[in-house]
Structure 1
Amino acid sequence: MQLHHHPFCPHSRFVRLLLAEYGLEPELVEERVWERRPGLLALNPAGDTPVIVEAQAPSVPGAAIIAEYLDETRGLALAERRLLPEDPLGRVEVRRLTSWFHEKMFVECTEPLVRERIYKRYMSREQGGGPPDATALRMARANLRYHLKYIGWLSKARNWLAGERFSQADLAAAAHLSVADYLGDVPWDEDENARDWYARVKSRPTFRQLLAESIPGMPPSKTYADLDF
């Protein structure tokens, strides 16, 4: 299996966490989506990451599609560790929250943070590179506070975000928070419940590889790899 990804694409991080929970170790192929590499476009005409490629099978593009594919092909083998509940209503809640983080939180927070502070460092002027947009960053950080409160509210009312069991929803939220946390943009002191929940998630062995990664010339925040905050 190959995973075409970017180390700080939150959707790619979600899939990497999923694969680790399934006990799968793919070959990682780093992509810079702004370069519109023909090989990536052949696998996914949308030109986005992540994309999974397995031998003698069509490519599987997109975080949500990959999550469903992995559940359908490997989920039953996990038994009680399956990342989707057995009951239909439980699966609805997991999918609702996973979609919330991958779509709403991504658009409002993590996409502008990653684009302005990471991607633009490597993009040419023609590709949209240049100094960070201060207005975009200010809005993303304000929106992040809103999403952090929602995560805190969910984690206070439930054992995990979607219910009693650890699920894809926890991995989705943690993947997006992890990139913001690397940049030092998460106000952890504003919500103790969200902070405690995230500490539980990032203490899982499947998180270790992500926490070991860094960007040359841009070290992570002090809280990034600190399991005890």
Structure 2
Amino acid sequence: MPEVIFPGPEGRLEGRYHPQRDKDAPIAIILHPHPQFGGTMNNRVVYNLHYAFHNMGFTVLRFNFRGVGRSQGEYDQGVGELSDAASALDYLQSLNPNAKHCWVAGFSFGAWIGMQLLMRRPEITGFVSVAPPANMYDFSFLAPCPSSGLIINGTADRVAPPKDTHALVDKLHEQKGITITHEEIEGAGHFFEDPHMEEMIGTVDRYVRRRLTETTR
């Protein structure tokens, strides 16, 4: 999987790009957790999401937000990180102009950024938000949420407590025209330590495959 460097708003951004042979393959970007708490594109959840999407036939890009690894710039409270994500999607689309489907998946802080990106980019057809920190960040910008997606969390998550995730899901369920699927992994903490990682990735795999099947009928 080639390392890539592509232009971001504050200089270069470092990523890992994993293409398919099929030029019409769907595309996905994967967004990592909080840069100031050790979040990088090599986080285990992000890494496993990356390979899950690639195994489902997606051309995939994951990358380091500004100030992480070899990415230039400094942490910017989520504002600049959203711009980084938009630049990553631009880069991925420039390499794959024939892609018919575009997905975004994010973990924790990355889920918050991914759902903001969703609001800006109407071409995004689906999303996966893993352990969205609804207790720390305001998700009220999802009004209305523009596309259907999966929200997944662990019942033993102490970083992003389940009750806050439930409140977010309940609010999204009130919106018309989209379907928010909510799955919980029994006993899983925020980072889906083994044996919960495999179950979480399996849940994502089943959901995304079902959505792809529905859109190709």
Q: Which TM-score applies when normalising by structure 2?
A: 0.34
Higher strand share: 2
* Structure having the higher Rg: 1
More helix by share: 1
* Higher RCO (CA-CA < 8 Å; seq separation 6+): 1
